[in-house]
Structure 1
Amino acid sequence: MPPMPKFPNTKTCMLGIAALLAANPVQADETQTGFCDPAEKGITALARHPEIYNIHFENDLFNGTDEGYTNGVKLSWVSANLKDYIHDPCLPVWVRRLNRMFESLHRAGYKSRNMVVTFGQSMYTPLNKIRTDVIPDDRPYAGWLYLGLGYNERNARQMDTVQVNLGMIGPASMAKQTQDFIHDLRDIPRFNGWGNQLHNEPGIQIIVERKKKVWNSATGSWPQFDAITHYGGSLGNVATYLNTGFELRAGNRLPNDFGTSPIRSAGDSNAPLEDPNLRRFSSGGVHAFISADARLVAHDIFLDGNTFAASHSVNKELVVGNIAVGAAWQWHGGQITYAHYISSKEFTTQTTNPGYGAITLSLEY
């Protein structure tokens, strides 16, 4: 019996798809040495270094409710450390050319940097699932399907993040179909008012955020503690706001990152390490955390309604916030996190404080 053929591993196959899109000759100015050397240039070389794959799931089922921000799913890929975003031969040529378009957003003065690619969907519903008409004093039905490109740059104490999200709001987001499928699968009654959801509208969101480790205990102590602050903002027809907050962590062997990784924009904090061969999840450990975020909101399309067409809307609160408590378990090669969020009221006629649970699975290989 002839020997079975050998197939490439899953990671190489996934990255190889992007390599096919990059089948263009490399420009002379794009062949500077980087972390890939002396390995073969290209995305197969990038695959030789540890990368992070995150799976995020958020749902108000964990809060015993089914309304407001009712579900969110996000997949994200966090690259190994890069020489830079334009010349590093690890990146496909088309990615380097795309990054050149956003060169003004890249920060200087950091030795460690990586890219983050995200794909996600979020959905919002009112409290009453039976009514088929517009409910004037409750939030609109809405969905958001998006693709994001982010840049993380850091040193030991600070990380700067810039992220650009592009996508669709409205029926094109497939939020109704996704919710109907899950509700049918779990034998839960469907929401009847999706015919009133926000209209189709292209969405863009540019997010800038800085995270800073303002305190951490001695490395060899038990338990370990650290405190991380963040501040930044978002600009775009999806959301325009300023935000700030903090996170406190306590446990053993705290990961070398900048906090929890919720679906919140700029939340992928699996920070790059200076040595591309080092692993972020190199040892086991458990830690607990508490975090908070406050926003001054100028625009929120999921409450203010469509930008270019008449649609259902409600009067939003200008200042909103949330707090979260949770725990994370880390092992060699991965981490799983659970956090429970309680938010302030987001619009003036909202009757309850919304809440939801968030699970994040991070795998490194």
Structure 2
Amino acid sequence: MKFKQLIFIRSVLTFIVIINVITFLNAQDRVRNNAVYFYHDNDVFRFKHNSDQFYSFGLFLGYRQTIKEQSGFNKAFFFVKNKESSKLLYGANLSVKGFTPEFEKNLNNAEIRPFAGITVLEQNLSSAQEKRFYSLGLSLGARGQISGAEWIQDNFHRLIDSPVFEGWENQLSNKFIYGVSGTYAFSVPVAKWIQIVPESKAAIGNFQTYLQQGVIIRAGIFNSSLSNTKYYGTNLNNTSKKAKNEYFLFAKGFGRISLIDTTLGKEAIGNTTNALNKRNRMAGFDFGLMMQSGPVGIRLSRHLISADSNFSTRHTYGSLGLSYLF
């Protein structure tokens, strides 16, 4: 059996076991103000070619909770009126990512990106209403060997008796990374089973600096209110004993103008910022399935020409995600 097929089968089987165990342990209905989630990106979840060659893996562990006393916060941070349907949420997300070389390993070539490992902690504050969603985030982390990305990937490959990648010998140097980001989205109802959500994003810092505009389309059974949906992780603090379950497909297209990405290797030859050119203007497309049944949520998605690591217009990968409300 091929390596990527073995990884895919093991990941799916583990996924199914975890979902069933959690559902069995806690199936009763109650108001849930907290959530934990885990996502795993990997280029082996592709069904064509052996490797993406640009984005290797990503591990995400997060926590989210509602803030009950929200009147002052919502007005101060997001300039919105507090309504019964509005929510203020705090979230924290710890991610570890590994980016593989682009083009070649020769450090004298300005176009290459040697292996880059990053570990980032993002804290965010979100305001969600029926037709509006706002979020502000602060990211702090490290790039290079101290990120631990190389250690995680190498030991996982040894665990499954697979060769480790040699590209880590060209890993970018250790560096402290930081950034501030923001998201704004609003809903456009189309039909009972279809919803359009235009979404704007921006970030500034030495981690990533970009402007992005996208459009999300949801189709299926979902909560139309942006203050109570799995898509934005706002399905907390539901007062009804039986919150509406969600089962929907989503597709997201976006364009991005990027200026800085800390996973790039151009600074190895003395350039710390990247001039705006056609490689900085990107487009991406994500699609997948989201499900929420009681406290358990599932996300399966595929990312095509994604801009997760800027300036790479060709990388693709899949994601498996699990969330739990409590």
User: 1:313 & 1:135 partners in 2: Cα distance?
Assistant: 17
Return the offset for 1:288.
1.1
1:56 aligns with 2:17: no
User: 2:242 & 2:322 partners in 1: Cα distance?
Assistant: 12
Return the offset for 1:119.
1.0
Tell me, yes or no, if the aligned pair for 2:75 and 2:81 is still in contact at 8 Å.
no
Deviation per residue, 1:123-176 (Å, 9 max, x gap): 101268xx9864835322111111111000021100110000101111110111
TM-score normalised over the length of structure 2: 0.76
Return the offset for 1:110.
4.1
1:282 aligns with 2:274: no
Q: Relative contact order, CA 8 A, sep 6+: which one is greater?
A: 2
> Which one has a larger percent strand, Structure 1 or Structure 2?
2
Q: How does 1:1-365 map to 2 (within 5 A)?
A: 49-63=32-46, 64-84=50-70, 106-111=77-82, 112-126=87-101, 134=107, 136=109, 137-218=111-192, 224-254=193-223, 256-257=225-226, 269-271=232-234, 276-278=237-239, 282-303=243-264, 305-306=266-267, 310=270, 317-343=279-305, 353-365=314-326
Provide the secondary structure at the position in 1 that maps to 2:79. coil
User: 1:321 & 1:334 partners in 2: Cα distance?
Assistant: 32
**Structure 2 residues not aligned, in runs of 5+:** 1-29
Tell me, yes or no, if the aligned pair for 1:257 and 1:270 is still in contact at 8 Å.
no
TM-score normalised over the length of structure 1: 0.68
How many correspondences in the alignment?
286
Larger gyration radius, structure 1 or structure 2: 1
User: 1:343 & 1:256 partners in 2: Cα distance?
Assistant: 29
Tell me, yes or no, if the aligned pair for 2:114 and 2:167 is still in contact at 8 Å.
no
Pairwise CA RMSD of aligned residues? 3.5
Distance 1:272 1:212, change over 3 A: same
Aligned to 2:22: none
User: 1:311 & 1:195 partners in 2: Cα distance?
Assistant: 21
Tell me, yes or no, if the aligned pair for 1:205 and 1:234 is still in contact at 8 Å.
yes
Tell me, yes or no, if the aligned pair for 1:256 and 1:271 is still in contact at 8 Å.
no
Distance 1:82 1:342, change over 3 A: same
Distance 1:332 1:216, change over 3 A: farther
Distance 1:192 1:260, change over 3 A: farther
Aligned to 2:4: none
Deviation per residue, 1:235-267 (Å, 9 max, x gap): 000110001101111112447447998xxxxxx
User: 2:158 & 2:271 partners in 1: Cα distance?
Assistant: 28
User: 1:249 & 1:189 partners in 2: Cα distance?
Assistant: 40
Provide the secondary structure at the position in 1 that maps to 2:166. coil
Give, as a single letter, the amino acid of the residue that structure 2 aligns with 1:157. Answer: K
Give, as a single letter, the amino acid of the residue that structure 1 aligns with 2:297. Answer: Q
User: 1:201 & 1:279 partners in 2: Cα distance?
Assistant: 47
User: 2:134 & 2:43 partners in 1: Cα distance?
Assistant: 30
Return the offset for 1:106.
1.9
Task: State the percentage of identical aligned residues.
Answer: 20
